[in-house]
Amino acid sequence: MAYSIGEFARLSGITATTLRAWQRRYGLLKPQRTEGGHRLYSEEDVQQALKILDWVKKGVPIGQVKPLLGRPAPGRTNNWQTLQQNMLQRLQAGKIDSLRQLIYDAGREYPRPELVANVLRPLRSQVSANVPAAMTLREILDGIIIAYTSFCLEGDKKAAGDNILLSGWHLNDPCEIWLEALTRTGQGHRIDILPIPPATLAPEIFPDRKWLLITRGKLTAARKKQVEQWQQQLSLEVIIL
């Protein structure tokens, strides 16, 4: 069976942008082409992509994966830590344009859920001290993350997909809304964001949308009851960080 790049992206959980980068820059995939020039992926390509993803999740730099594909997968390496430290050094040195480019490049070359979990969230934790210098660095980093996520979300809206509204709920860190959105880009979703968690949420006014609420910590009995009431009226999911 042959798959278009969109179908292949949904099957493998890897964005079309990343699939193209793996092909063009690293020669890791070799899809066939239709007469019109569109990529067609086979079942063998699906299995190859999953092998690549396994190595990447374990921290192997994407540029070093090709010669390893015939070998058993290793334990975790420190590549995620290295990428994180490279970003931190650029941030601390005030190299904002360079940091922005590194984040955009990483978003093309690595699956975004892994990039968020293994690099961006830990990086934000490193600059979370409640002192002016650290707070300024974190705001700069958050600005780049929000801009990159917005760029990815706008790209998703050019294609068909389900319509999602994503909001924080009893969440003190609004950037987590954007990070969660970033993990879901390139997967056939058209996501709109409520960038600041509202004091009182009324998802029932958009009953035709699927809602994703990002919160932190265990739900209280009152909040569980509220979620159950909403879920009787619309499609709603709570994501607990």
What's the confidence (pLDDT) of residue 74? 56
What's the confidence (pLDDT) of residue 75? 58
Partners of 32 in beta bridges: 40
What's the confidence (pLDDT) of residue 46? 82
What's the confidence (pLDDT) of residue 154? 95
Q: Report d(CA 75, CA 206) in Å as an integer.
A: 45
DSSP letters, 158-172, are TS--EEEEEEESS-S
What's the confidence (pLDDT) of residue 70? 75
In the chain, the domains with their CATH numbers are 5-68 (1.10.1660.10), 79-155 (1.10.1240), 159-240 (3.40.50)
* Cα-Cα-Cα-Cα dihedral sign, residues 45, 20, 18, 154: negative
Global pTM value: 0.82
Task: State the DSSP code for 3.
Answer: B
* pLDDT in 10s for each residue of the chain, 241 residues: 788 888 888 777 788 889 989 999 899 888 888 888 888 888 888 888 888 888 888 888 888 888 888 776 555 566 898 999 999 999 999 999 999 999 999 999 999 999 999 999 999 998 987 888 889 999 999 999 999 999 999 999 988 889 999 999 999 999 999 999 999 998 889 999 999 888 899 999 999 999 999 999 999 999 999 999 999 999 999 999 9
